[in-house]
Amino acid sequence: MSDDDKGLFQNTRHLVRMAGIFAAGIVAFVGMRMLLVPEGFGRYGHYRAPAIGDNMKKPISYAGRDACAECHADVVEARKASKHVGIGCEACHGALALHTSDPAKSKAVKPKAAQLCPACHEQNVARPKWFKQVNGAEHSGGEACDSCHAPHAPEL
Amino acid sequence: MSDSRTDKNRREFLLQGTKFIVLTGVAASAWDYVLAGTPEAAPSYKASQHWWAMMIDIEKCIGCGGCVRACKAENNVPLEPYYFRTWVERYHVRGEDLAHPDVDTPNGGYDGFPEIYHADDGAKSFFVPKMCNHCEHSPCVQVCPVGATFEAPDGVVLVDSAYCLGCRYCVQACPYGCRYIDPRTNTVDKCSLCYHRITKGLTTACCETCPTGARQLGDLRNPKDPIHAFIREHKVQVLKPQMATGSKAYYNGLDGSVR
């Protein structure tokens, strides 16, 4: 009878010891997890949720044509009937977010037609056939494109 | 007393109990967000209401390189060495030999394409703009060991540059060659679909500056977006469809020679 009691007592001590080790392991796991897993990880998937915000934060360089139209209504009007109507202003004039945020501080630079126009319109066999192309040397003999064509409405 | 009430209580208890046991700390609080379907969002932008895609019309691409220049300026991509978030390839296919096209992309098309072919050489030439395809089942996302590249709730595949190790697995995994290691940070970089722009209501820098409209950003979750009509009215294709990446860059006029 007393032997049985002793045996039971010994077994209980074993179990308590094991439970203690398990508990310590779980506490260590939860603690490590809280330390090592970054904020928001796993909220929407296997990634840091704040990374979405990080990608949103960057500043813009290209303001978009709507921002240009707010001040330059005359150019919008000039392009209306032209084939160039669909082209974004910054396709030719370059990134202008600095200019639209403070027009006095940062000025837009007028592009040079002799370099700008051939980027699209110089003859190239890989260009689609419907697109207007010229052999610059034959077409104007070195004359600047904008001496005949108005860039905002190039049709003659 | 009734059976249904008992069942409900038991179900409730099991659900709560499972939640409590399985989820701890941050994960438990996030579970409510997941159940509610509220993704990470700026005050004015709800990511779950969008599903971004790109439409690229090869019939309209004139190879001016405007998109390449705009992309580099907008996203601070190094000019040299020659890395790109978007670039343009020139294909030259002789006769019926679709398997062996000549492909060149001088500086990614940044400076345009000097004429190197002749109109009467019996071949066809055309330009193919390339960029991250923002795959729904991205190989790059699957291989990232730390979750530094992921698909946002609006379908855009993004890079977490603060968490990227620079291990280059994703660079090798991308079947479209859209990724590079930024030598300044030693972390990966690629097209983010101008995430900082599209979440503000602007279009991407490449779409903004494309003079012919060969690129159009589309929102597949917006029923009024013209991309639906375009995909319906044209014969569109994605790159490497056999790889089942779920690409969201839809090409019109894609030749069989394009890789």
Which CATH number goes with the domain that contains B84? 3.30.70.20
Does residue B42 sit within a domain?
A: no
A137-A139-A144 Cα angle (round to 5): 75
ipTM over 0.90: no
The pair phi, psi for residue A66, each rounded to 5°, is -65, -35
Residues B22 and B69 both lie in one domain: no
Chain A: nearest CA to B103, how far in angstroms?
12
Position B73 pLDDT exceeds 50? yes
Position B91 pLDDT exceeds 80? yes
Over pLDDT 70: what percentage of chain B? 83
Would you place residue B177 in the very low, low, confident or very high pLDDT band (cuts 50, 70, 90)?
Answer: very high
Residues B12 and B113 both lie in one domain: no
* A125 vs B contacts (CB less than 8 Å): 115, 117-119, 125
Residues B28 and B135 both lie in one domain: no
Whether residues A44 and B39 touch (CB distance < 8 A) is answered with: yes
Residue B168 has a pLDDT of: 96
Residues B30 and B84 both lie in one domain: no
Helices B25-36 and A2-36, axial angle in degrees (round to 10): 60
Would you place residue A141 in the very low, low, confident or very high pLDDT band (cuts 50, 70, 90)?
Answer: confident
Does residue B132 sit within a domain?
A: yes
pLDDT tens digit sequence for A124-133: 999 999 999 9
Residues B69 and B197 both lie in one domain: yes
Would you place residue B61 in the very low, low, confident or very high pLDDT band (cuts 50, 70, 90)?
Answer: very high
Does residue B41 sit within a domain?
A: no
What's this model's pTM, rounded to 2 decimal places? 0.84
CB nearest to B112's CB, from A65, A86, A119: A119
Tell me how many domains chain B contains.
2
Whether residues A56 and B45 touch (CB distance < 8 A) is answered with: yes
Q: Which residue of A has its CA nearest to B25?
A: A34
Chain A: nearest CA to B204, how far in angstroms?
9
- Could you give the CA distance from residue A116 to residue A92 in angstroms, rounded to a whole number? 7
Would you place residue B14 in the very low, low, confident or very high pLDDT band (cuts 50, 70, 90)?
Answer: low
Would you place residue B163 in the very low, low, confident or very high pLDDT band (cuts 50, 70, 90)?
Answer: very high
Residues B156 and B106 both lie in one domain: yes
Averaged over B169-189, what is the pLDDT? 96
Chain B: nearest CA to A33, how far in angstroms?
9
Residues B107 and B21 both lie in one domain: no
Position B29 pLDDT exceeds 90? no
CB-based contact B134:B150 (threshold 8 Å): no
Residues B13 and B79 both lie in one domain: no
Whether residues A59 and B196 touch (CB distance < 8 A) is answered with: yes
Position B33 pLDDT exceeds 90? no
Find tokens 């019109």 and name the residue: B252
Whether residues B208 and A88 touch (CB distance < 8 A) is answered with: yes
Over pLDDT 90: what percentage of chain A? 71
Position B79 pLDDT exceeds 50? yes
Show the domain range for B10.
3-36
Domain ranges in chain A? 1-39, 60-110, 112-149
CB-based contact B231:B249 (threshold 8 Å): no
Query: Two tokens at A33?
Result: 């997890």
Whether residues B34 and A62 touch (CB distance < 8 A) is answered with: no
* B199 vs A contacts (CB less than 8 Å): 56
pLDDT tens digit sequence for A10-62: 678 888 999 999 999 999 999 999 999 998 898 889 999 999 989 998 999 99
Residues B219 and B97 both lie in one domain: yes
Whether residues B70 and A128 touch (CB distance < 8 A) is answered with: no
Number of Cβ pairs closer than 8 Å across A and B?
A: 153
Give yes or no for B213 touching A (CB within 8 A).
yes
Whether residues B196 and A60 touch (CB distance < 8 A) is answered with: yes
Residues B17 and B131 both lie in one domain: no
Residues B17 and B84 both lie in one domain: no
Query: Two tokens at B212?
Result: 């012919």
Chain A: nearest CA to B74, how far in angstroms?
5
Residues B240 and B115 both lie in one domain: yes
Averaged over B29-54, what is the pLDDT? 64
Chain B: nearest CA to A19, how far in angstroms?
17
